[in-house]
Amino acid sequence: MTRSGFVSLLGRPNAGKSTLLNKLVGAKVAIVSDKPQTTRTRILGVKHVEQDGQVTGQIVFVDTPGVHRPLHRMNVRMVDAAVQAARDVDVVCLVADASERTGAGTKYVLDLLDQAKKPAVLVLNKIDLVAKHKLLPIIDWYRQQRDFADIIPVSALTGDGLDRLEAVLLSHLPESDPLFPDDYLTDQPERTLAAEMVREQVLAHTRDELPFSTAVAVDQFEEPETTGGLLRLFCTIYVESDSQKPIVIGRAGDMIKRIGTAARLELERFFETKVYLDLHVKVKPGWREDERMLDTLGLEKGKPRKSPSRAGRAGRGGRGARRGK
C-alpha cells in the first residue's frame, strides 16, 4: 500500500515553515531568513518516502507565505496564496513557533483552518528553544482552541520529531500511487530558484528595513552548453527609492560584491556547476503596488493553480528542479 497527497504548511511569519520544508525534503527549495515575510509565494517540495528499499508514499509539501495583515498589493497576494493552499490540499499543517507567545495573530490563523475544512495537524516548531516543562501548557492551550488530528512537537533546526511528523502525515494521506517521478524535487522553475537565492543574500546582508522593499528578477538565464560548463545569470535587484540603491551597492560597490559572491556560491552548490553572476540595482518606485510587476515576479493572485503533476515543463530556465541538480 502506498499513500500520496498534498500537505500545506500554514502559519505566522517566522514560524520556521521554510526551514521545516527544506529539512523534510532533504534539499534547499525555499530560502531562509530571520526577516519576516521572506516567503512570498507557494513553494512545492516533494518528499519520497521509502522503507526497506520500497516506496511507501509521497508527501507533496506546499510551503506558504506567513499569514499577516497585508499592507500592500504584494502582501494581499501573499496571504491569498496561503489561504488558497490550505483549501487545495489533503492535510493542513499549522506550523507554530512554540517559543512565541500566542495572540490575535495566532487565533486568526486558527480561524483559517476552519475555513479550509481539511484535517489539521499542529506542528509545534522550535521546541529546542523551549524548556520541556513549559511545552505541555502550550499544547493544552492549542487543544482548547481546536480539535487537531495530531499534535507533533518538532525542531526543524535539529531534526527532532521530524520522523514522527512524516509518519503521521503519511497516515492521513489517501491511498494512491506516487504523484511525481522519483527524482522530482520542486515545481519552482530554475530561474525562480536562482532569483530567490540572490534575494536571500540581499536579506542576509542589508538593513532590517530594506528587505521588504526589495525584489530580484532574472533577466537572462543562459544554461551551460556542456556538462560542467558555465551557467550565466544576469539579475536585477529592485528597490523602491533612490535612497535605498546606495545601501545595496555599498561604498565603492563593496555590498553588491558581497551579495554577489555569497549568492554565486549558493547557486554553484545547488546547480552543481560554475556560475557567472551579473547583478544590477534599479529603482522601481511603488513596485509592491504594481500588478504587472507582481506578475513578472511570479506572485500569485490567490487563484487555484494547475496541479504541478499535470503542468507542462516551461522553457529554458523554467523547468521544475529535480534531484541531483
pLDDT of residue 301: 63
Looking at residues 164-186, what average pLDDT do you find? 92
**Mean residue pLDDT across the chain:** 86
Q: Are residues 63 and 108 in the same domain?
A: yes
Q: Give pLDDT tens digits for 110-158.
A: 888 877 788 899 999 999 999 999 999 999 999 999 999 999 999 999 9
Residue 110 belongs to domain spanning: 3-172
- Please state the three-class secondary structure of 19-41 as a single string: HHHHHHHCCCCCCCCCCCCCCCC
Asked if the structure places residue 183 within a domain, the reply is: no
Q: 0.85 exceeded by the pTM?
A: no
Select from 122, 143, 172 the last residue of a domain: 172
User: Residues 211, 82: one domain?
Assistant: no
Q: What is the pLDDT of residues 1-53, one digit of tens each?
A: 789 999 999 888 889 999 999 999 999 899 888 877 677 778 889 999 887 77
Q: Is the same domain home to 153 and 194?
A: no
What is the per-residue pLDDT across 194-216, written as a single tens digit (0 to 9) for each?
A: 999 999 999 999 876 676 789 99
178 found inside a domain: no
**Dihedral sign (CA 76, 144, 168, 155):** positive
pLDDT greater at residue 85 or residue 30: 30
Higher pLDDT, 35 or 268: 268
Cα gap 13→45, rounded to integer Å: 19
User: Confidence band (pLDDT; 50, 70, 90) for 315?
Assistant: very low
Quote the pLDDT of residue 107: 87
Give the alpha-carbon dihedral of 133, 35, 302, 322, to 10 degrees. -90
Tell me which H or E stretch contains 164: helix 162-172
Residues 6+ apart with CB under 8 A from 34: 14
If asked whether residues 88 and 167 sit together in one domain, one would say: yes
Does one domain contain both 17 and 163? yes
Residue 253 has pLDDT above 60, yes or no: yes
State whether 131 and 272 are in the same domain.
Answer: no
Buried b (16+ CB within 10 A) or exposed e, 176-214: eebbbeeebbbbbbbbbbbbbbbbbbbbbbbeeebbbbb
Residue 91: HSE in the Cβ half-sphere, 13 Å Cα cutoff: 26
**pLDDT score, position 187:** 87
CB contact set of 208 (below 8 Å; sequence gap of 6+): 35
On whether both 163 and 214 belong to a single domain, the answer is no
* pLDDT higher than 90, residue 168: yes
Residues 112, 202, single domain; the answer is no
> From CA 57, how far away is CA 55, in angstroms rounded?
6
Q: Residue 280 is which amino acid?
A: H
Q: Sort 170 into a burial class: Cβ within 10 Å, 0-12 / 13-18 / 19+.
A: buried
98 and 21 share one domain: yes
Q: d(Cα 252, Cα 232) in Å, to the nearest integer?
A: 24
pLDDT for 86 = 72
Query: Of 172, 207, 234, which one is at a domain's C-terminal end?
Result: 172
Domain count, the chain: 2
Between the alpha carbon of residue 19 and those of residues 34, 119, 142, the distances in Å are 11, 23, 22
Q: What is the pLDDT of residue 245?
A: 94
Count CB-CB contacts under 10 A for residue 166: 16
150 in the same domain as 60: yes
Provide the edge-to-edge strand list for the sheet that holds 230-239.
215-222, 230-239, 274-283
